Structure 1
Amino acid sequence: MRFGRHRARRGAPPVQPEGGPLAASAPGTDVSLHPAAADDGGPHAQYAQFAQHGPGGPSGPGIPSGLRGARAHGVVLTRDGWPLPGASVTLLAVDGVGSARATSGSDGRFVLADLETGPATLLVACAGHEPQARSVVVQDPRATRAEEMVVDFGELRLARVGAAELPPPGRWVIDPDHTSLVATAHHLGLSAVNGRLSRLEGAIEVAEPFSGSSVQVRIDAASIDTGVAARDDHLRSADFLDVEHHPWITYEGRGLLPDGAGGWQLNGQLTLNGTARPVPLSLRCTGTGTDPWGGQRVAFQATAQLSRNDFAMKWNQAFGLGVAIFGTTLRITIDLEAVRET
């Protein structure tokens, strides 16, 4: 694993198909196609009207339904515009007999061949995403034979099942300047004391499927900051973090399970104060996007809970009726940004 600060690199924006799609969904369906404007005067305007109105619309003559030989293409994307490889695309004729199937490639694009002209149902499905079905029309008034017909279905966008859009596969380097890691403990059983660990480095390896992803993080234990110098010095001592002998806190996790509420559980191992213990993280992807320098970014929020006694940090003092000065339970809250490595 390579560590170190990362500068955002210029990268290409998400794939966008050329031209406008030439088919529209039937009224009342979830419209994820982006039809060309029927009145923009562009080359697809006439067919955009035909697709919206069907064979009885104002499109002109066209080719009769039921002839084979047409082709169609399009691109399957996530809701926020990332290519979605491995999606199953099926076109069913109205009678349910004639059909064509294709699988989207690494760029999300697909091609359907030897299609039957006329109305049909387009089905799009991909693991971890909401499937979609919609009515389309395989027709093009510009063609004189079915074999000449090439229909552009444009962008077909799928939403993830119960979750925000996830980043595409690849290595994502954690941006420490836009990442916050806070540990919270109770003081006197009354209020919370927050300590921020400000120096860290690491990377996320996003896999396809996402459940196979992994993360490695290394944290400078001496960077603990509670806002009180005397308390921070004590936390760095052998009573707690013992930074002289154990300068680094590490976390390594691999494999995620959906939590049923739109998030994931990451199973990982935390090494703290020289002791390694399994600590699961509850995490949620909060979004992806492009930064001003052309880099691709992803954000996650994560939480965990652990007992400091499990990591040989047992120092404490009691007062009154045995109430401890410092609680043994630590709650970890992480807000993380990472930049895709190019």
Structure 2
Amino acid sequence: MPLGLLRRLRPRTASAAGPDLSLPLPAGAGAFGCEVVDPTGQPMAGAEVTVTALDSHRVATHGTTDPYGFFMAALPPGSYGLRIAAEGLSPARETIEIAAGVAPPPAHITLDPARQLELPPTGTWLFDPPHTAIRFIAKHVGMAHVHGRFTRFDGGIRVAPNMGDSQVSVRIDASSISTGNKTRDNHLRSADFLDVEHYPYIDFVSSRFIYRGGSKWTLQGTLTMHGTSRSVGLDTTYLGTVNGGYEQELRCAALAKAELHREDFTLNYRSMLARGIAVVGPTIQLELDIQAMYHTSDTPTPPE
């Protein structure tokens, strides 16, 4: 357990002078501090810092750098693994030693640009259902969470010569929803929720790919569910391309996430509560863990 997270905001020029931290350490504790900068040497605010005890592999402390790029913590003596990450940059990893009563000057850590993975070849890629999962997490009315997935779907990716012009389409069989509880699943399929008899499919079609740096992209597009279409953005991490599997097919993989609000799709949370229905809360976390196989080098132009 961390003994405390201690931060101090200081001018940028103070770092060059090698300031004395002068931390008020708890008895028997040591201190760790770091100053994180981007590839141009500018302070990295909001970088994620995780410190893990090497003996137990437990997270000792976790947080983000302050507006000046600093992070400080008081910790029990011992050996720790340090990981610092920020979007679009390669994570930094180091091993640090904490000694009782010692508060050394902050370590200066530069995050380098993330290595951009080679993009998949142009053409049409089709989802491989046995190696693809569409999952969701919704908070139940109360404290529990409902975990579920859709078991029947198809989709594909049209990779254009300019990646920004590429397109993803997904069609989900709404009746294939599964949360591990038959009564709840039947309720989710009913007119109270997905109404699969009248709206059998959930569709997503992307309109553009927006590059966010490193392996990060945003897939902007339209999600149609329960007869209602809304613009959504999928925060996507491209995982690379490999030759593998049966007959050594060329495959690519990605992980996409989005937060959905039920009322955006006319799934009225308040009216359900008024009728004594309490299936899941109003916010749903959607995750698509995609693996696709190379199908053809054709990249047909989507219809206008």
TM range (shorter): 0.5 to 0.7
Aligned equivalents of 1:189, 1:165: Cα separation in 2? 45
Q: How many residues align structurally?
A: 180
Aligned equivalents of 1:162, 1:209: Cα separation in 2? 19
Partner of 2:268: 314
Q: Would you say 1:169 and 2:125 are equivalent positions?
A: no
Q: CA deviation at 1:189?
A: 3.8
Superposition TM-score, scaled by structure 1 size? 0.50
Aligned equivalents of 1:332, 1:261: Cα separation in 2? 22
Larger C-alpha radius of gyration, 1 or 2? 1
**Structure 2 residue runs without a partner (length 5+):** 1-112, 297-304
Q: 1:194 aligns with which of 147, 160, 180?
A: 147
2:125–2:156 CA contact under 8 A, matched in 1:
yes
Q: CA deviation at 1:164?
A: 2.6
Aligned equivalents of 2:248, 2:215: Cα separation in 1? 28
Partner of 1:329: 283
Aligned equivalents of 2:235, 2:227: Cα separation in 1? 24
1:318–1:325 CA contact under 8 A, matched in 2:
no
Distance 1:310 1:165, change over 3 A: same
Q: CA deviation at 1:208?
A: 1.6
Aligned equivalents of 2:279, 2:222: Cα separation in 1? 28
2:177–2:185 CA contact under 8 A, matched in 1:
yes
Aligned equivalents of 1:302, 1:327: Cα separation in 2? 22
Partner of 1:243: 196
Q: Would you say 1:210 and 2:163 are equivalent positions?
A: yes
Q: CA deviation at 1:235?
A: 0.1
Tell me which amino acid in the other structure corresponds to 1:296. L
Aligned equivalents of 2:219, 2:116: Cα separation in 1? 15
Partner of 1:341: 295
Q: CA deviation at 1:264?
A: 0.3
**Structure 1 residue runs without a partner (length 5+):** 1-159
Q: Choose between structure 1 and 2: higher strand proportion.
A: 2
Aligned equivalents of 2:198, 2:121: Cα separation in 1? 39
2:117–2:215 CA contact under 8 A, matched in 1:
yes
Q: Would you say 1:267 and 2:223 are equivalent positions?
A: no
Give secondary structure in 1 for the equivalent of 2:248. coil
Residues 311-337 of structure 1, C-alpha deviations (whole Å, 9 max, x = no match): 111143279xxxx76210111011001
Residues 202-256 of structure 1, C-alpha deviations (whole Å, 9 max, x = no match): 1100112211110111100000000000000000001110000000111000211
Give secondary structure in 2 for the equivalent of 1:341. strand
Partner of 1:277: 230
1:304–1:331 CA contact under 8 A, matched in 2:
yes
Distance 1:261 1:166, change over 3 A: closer
Aligned equivalents of 1:212, 1:301: Cα separation in 2? 19
Tell me which amino acid in the other structure corresponds to 1:304. A
Q: Would you say 1:298 and 2:223 are equivalent positions?
A: no
Residues 237-282 of structure 1, C-alpha deviations (whole Å, 9 max, x = no match): 0111000000011100021111235300011000001111101111
Partner of 2:135: 182
Distance 1:294 1:325, change over 3 A: closer
Aligned equivalents of 1:252, 1:332: Cα separation in 2? 15
Give secondary structure in 1 for the equivalent of 2:169. strand
Tell me which amino acid in the other structure corresponds to 1:186. K
